[in-house]
Amino acid sequence: MIPVDDFGGNGPPLYFAHANGYPPACYLPLLQRLSEKYHVLALRQRPLWPGTRPEELHDWRPLAEDLSNFLAAQPGPVACVGHSMGAVATLRAALWHPEYFKAIVLLDPVLFPPEICLAWDIIYRLGLAYRLNLLAPAALRRRQVFESPATMFESYRRKAIFRYFSDESLLALVNGLTQPAANGTLRLVYPPEWEARIYVTAMRRDLELWRGLPRLQVPALIMRGEQTDTFLERTARLVSRRAPNIRILTLPACTHLLPLEKPQEVAQNIFDFTAKTENLNAKTPGRKENAISNPKSSFFGFG
């Protein structure tokens, strides 16, 4: 069974898929805000499952399969929000199984132009992924143990990556990233080997996403940070040309971590979007033709 964290709320269900390295509790300010109108459930992805082996992951399709299998057991279509890795899993699942979704919101998805996806697959096949991916070795070297929450908070407060975090959001991050360890210390809960593996297996099968985008049947909103290094302006232009029905919104003064930096604004945009789309799937959805007809299509995305 896929582990799920329940963040409460009395409205219709909304499912959240987290980013690589950021367990669901890191998003507490956002998820609490969303629970004002939804019953918020956050899926823990494979790196947070006990007993999983990162070396068995070769691309990100299994993450979408996990989400699809989970949603297949739900009583009806639902709204889904995903961040980064979770956004890609959500998009791929929506292309495979549009009948599972009322709407999707993708927060700075890890989607790069097609030629970059092609180049990275070649790098991976040549066995150079760990050597050439700058994020993987940083993940493996990341400090794992802290003396106290205050020590970790002060350490993270000085990091440029967290410059747009409020103290509330940074404290939620510290609490969400850690669990008690020996002698009263804290240890990160997200395995570094898994974080690195996620980085090096990114993009490998994403040409199928580009192929499927024009036939996406689910109402979709993409939110990106103005200063993101992930969902680039060029990517946004390509998505708009391929799938003009996807709304793309850029939030100022934030980065790839926008749901943690601006939880109130992100939540309000989600409310506004889902309010406009909640009646689009009022009819019995039935089973539609998948935008990606074969999840096992080739690297080049042509079946």
Domains of the chain: 4-277 (3.40.50.1820)
pLDDT score for 24: 98
Answer for the pair 14, 71: CB distance below 8 angstroms, yes or no. no
pLDDT of residue 20: 98
Q: Compute the average pLDDT of residues 25-54.
A: 97
What's the confidence (pLDDT) of residue 209? Answer: 98
CA angle 44, 195, 38 (to 5 degrees): 25
Closest CA to 199 of 298, 85, 122, 107: 85
pLDDT grade for 280, boundaries at 50, 70 and 90: low
Supply the DSSP string of 101-130, one letter for each residue. EEEEEEES-----HHHHHHHHHHHHTT-HH
At 301, the pLDDT band (50, 70, 90 cuts) reads very low
Query: Would you say residue 275 has pLDDT above 50?
Result: yes
What pTM, to 2 d.p., does this model score?
0.92
Mean pLDDT of 24-47: 98
* Overall average pLDDT of the 62-76 stretch: 95
Query: Taking 70 as the threshold, does the pLDDT of residue 265 lie above it?
Result: yes
